[in-house]
A and B are shown apart, each in its own frame.
Chain A
Amino acid sequence: MTRWSRFNIISVALGFAFLYLPIVLLVVFSFNESRLVTVWAGFSTKWYVALFNNQGLMDAAWVTIRVALLSATVATVLGTMAALSLVRFTRFRGRMLFSGMVYAPLVMPEVITGLSLLLLFVAIGFDRGFWTVTLAHITLTMCFVAVVVQSRLLSFDRSVEEAALDLGATPLRTFFEVTLPIIAPAVFSGWVLAFTLSLDDLVIASFTSGPGATTLPMKIYSQVRLGVTPEINAACTLLIALVTVGVIIASIVTKRRELQRQRDEHAAFAGR
C-alpha cells in the first residue's frame, strides 16, 4: 500500500463529507433541545418521546412496515419464479419479450409506474388503500428480486439438481431440498432489497395509496411541506439506524461465510 499523501487525505475527507454531512446534521439536530431546526440549544431526547406519542407518524410507520414485509415476501416468491423460468427454460416462445418485460420496471420512471397502476385500480374499481400500495410495491420490487436471483442461478451447477433427480427426488422435492437451500442467500438478499425499496418508496405509494394507508415516507413528506420539525429528524434517524443495522448484519453474514469457506479449504488440504 502506498503512504497517505495529503492529497489522499483531503480527497477522502471531502468525499465522506459530501456523502455523510447531511445525514450527520440530521442525526445531530434530532437531539436538539430547541424547536427550531437550525439553532442548537442543547442535548435532548424529547423529540423521540414526542415521536412515539405522535399517533399519526406511528400509524404511518406501522403501515409502512406491514406493506414492506408483505410486498417483499410476495415479490421474492414471484421474482424467484420469474428468474427460474428465465434461466431454466431458455427456449420457450416469447422468452425475450418476457425477460424484457420483467426488467422494464427497473428503468421505468416511478411516476409512470405509479400513474399506470392508479389508472388500473380506478378502472377495475379497486378501492385504494393498504392492498393497492402492497400490490404496487410487489410490481416495483419483483424485478429487483428477479435480477438478484437470476445472477445466482447463472452460476448454478445444474448437475447438482440432476443428481437429486437421479437419486429419486421428484422435481418439486429437488427444488425445495437442493435448489432453494443453495440459492437461499441470493433469495434472502433479494428479499432485503425488496423490503428496503418498499420501505422508502414515496412516489408509487402516493399514487396508489388511499385513506388510512399513509406510509411513513408520505407522512414525512407531507409534514415537511408544513415545515421541518425535530420530530421528523428523530423519525429519520431511527430509519437510518434501522437500515445501518441491516447493512451491518448483512456484511457480518458475508464475512463469516467467507471465513468459513477459508477454514473449509484449509481442512480439505489438511485432510488429504
Chain B
Amino acid sequence: MKSLGNIRRSFAPWADPDSKPFISFRNITKKFGDFTAVDNLTLDIYHREFFALLGASGCGKSTLLRMLAGFERPTSGEIILDGQDIAGIPPYRRPVNMMFQSYALFPHMTVESNIGFGLRQDGMPKAEIAERVKQMLKLVKLEQFAKRKPQQLSGGQRQRVALARSLAKRPKVLLLDEPLGALDKKLREETQFELMDLQQELGLTFVVVTHDQEEAMTMADRIAVMSHGKVIQVATPAEIYEAPNSRFVADFIGDVNILEGKVKAAGNGRVEIAGEDFTVRALGDTQLAMGASAGFAIRPEKLKISRTAPADATINASEGEIWDIAYLGDMTVFHVRLPSGKVVKTSMLNAQREVENPIGYDEKVWVSFAETGGVVLKD
C-alpha cells in the first residue's frame, strides 16, 4: 500500500499541461424557469481523480452532477466525457453510475438482485452476473446479507449496497451525491477512508457532491468550491485552505480571521496593508492599487499569542486582551479582543498535558503572525 500512497502524492494531472481532461464541462448553463442553477461554468476533471463539488445547498453542485448522470439537460454548453459530447445521450446509455443520497435501493428486490440489476440490463450471462455480484458483496463486506431486502438492513449496510450496485457495472466515472450524509459521525469517518481506498484500488474517477467541507478535504484530490451556480475556486484541499482566492472561500472553509485595511505599499512581491490594529506586512500580489481596501486572511492556528511583545520587530504584532477561552481537548481556542474592538480567533495545540502558568481570562497578550501566515485578498 505504500506505493499507492506515493502515487497519490505525486498525482497531479491538472498541473501537467499535456494531460487531457477526462470530463469537461464547457460553458454549462442550466436554468429552471427564471432560476439559474448553473451559470456558464467551465470545469475539467481528470482520469482517476477523486473530485469534490463543495458548496451550500442550492449552489448548483447537485444539478451539475445530475447533468453528468443525464437526468438534467444543460440549457447551453457541452459536457465532454472521454472525448465524446454526452449532452444528447440518455442516462441509460452513459458509462457513468451514480450513488444516490437516499441510496434509492429497489425495495422489492434482495441485496443480490439490487447489485445485479445493472448487469441484467446489459444482458450479461447469469453465471457471470452471479460471479460479479459475489465479488461486489465481498468488496463491501456484505456476503452474509445477500438474500436480505433493503428494509432488513441498517443505514450503513444500505449505503454499502448502494455503493456496490453503482460499482457493479464498472463505470468509467462514479458519481456520489452526498454519499455519507445519512450516516452517523463515527461511521462517516470510517467510510470516508474506505471510499478513498476503494477508489485507489479500482482506479476509477470519482465525482462527489458534498456540503461537508471536512468530508471533501479528507477524500478529494481536488475540490471545486461552488456558490450561486459558479465555481469560485478549484484546487487541492491544502491550496483551498492555505491559499483561498476570495473572501467567500476563506470564510467557507474552516475558521478564518480577516484583517481589513488599505494598501499602503506594494512591490517586490510584498504588500503592506494598514489596518486599525496591525500594519500587515505580507507576501502577495503586487498589482494592488495604492489606497485600495484589501483584507488579510489568516487561520486561527497561524496566529500566536504571547505575554511579551515579539523581539523581532519585522513580525506583525498587536496588543490585545483575552476575551473568551474554549478548551476543546486537542486544542484550545482563544478569542482575543484587539484595541479596535475586533475579536480574532487563535488556536493552540495542546501538545502537552500539563502547562506551566497557562494564559487566562482578561490577560493582556500580544497577537503576532509571520508574513507568510496568511493571504492577501482583494475586494
Contacts and interface: CB of A to CB of B under 8 A. Distances in A.
Given A157-B104, A271-B157, A169 B151 contact: no
Contact of A165 (B91, B102, B106, B165): B91
A65 to B, nearest CB: 31
Given A169-B92, A269-B154, A272-B154, A164 B106 contact: yes
A176 B121 CA distance: 13
Nearest to B108: A181
Interface stretch (A25-33, A110-118, A246-254, A259-267): A259-267
Nearest to A265: B151
Contacts of B339: none
B154 A182 contact: no
B117 A268 contact: no
Contacts of A170: 92
Interface in B47-96: 69-71, 90-94, 96
Nearest to A272: B154
Interface in A116-153: none
A167 B154 contact: no
Nearest to B107: A182
A155 to B, nearest CB: 13
Contacts of B157: 268, 271
Interface residues on A, range: 20 to 34
Given A167-B118, A170-B92, A182-B108, A162 B100 contact: yes
A159 B71 CA distance: 10
B154 A166 contact: no
Interface residues on B, range: 35 or more
B145 interface: yes
A143 B129 CA distance: 42
Interface string B115-126: 001100110000
B342 interface: no
A27 to B, nearest CB: 41
B286 interface: no
Contact of A167 (B101, B149, B169): B169
Contacts of B270: none
B153 interface: yes
Contact of B121 (A168, A261, A271): A168
Interface in A223-272: 261, 264-265, 267-269, 271-272
Contact of B149 (A165, A173, A181, A264): A264
A166 B98 contact: yes
Contacts of A261: 151
A253 to B, nearest CB: 15
Contacts of B90: 165
Nearest to B71: A162
Nearest to A170: B92
Given A159-B104, A168-B121, 15 more contacts: A157-B102, A157-B104, A160-B104, A162-B98, A162-B104, A165-B70, A166-B96, A167-B92, A167-B121, A167-B165, A169-B121, A264-B151, A265-B151, A271-B152, A271-B157
23 contacts: A157-B104, A159-B100, A159-B101, A159-B102, A160-B104, A162-B69, A162-B71, A164-B106, A166-B94, A166-B96, A167-B97, A167-B169, A182-B106, A182-B108, A261-B151, A264-B152, A267-B148, A268-B151, A268-B157, A269-B154, A271-B148, A271-B154, A272-B154
Interface of A: 157, 159-160, 162-171, 173, 177-178, 181-182, 261, 264-265, 267-269, 271-272
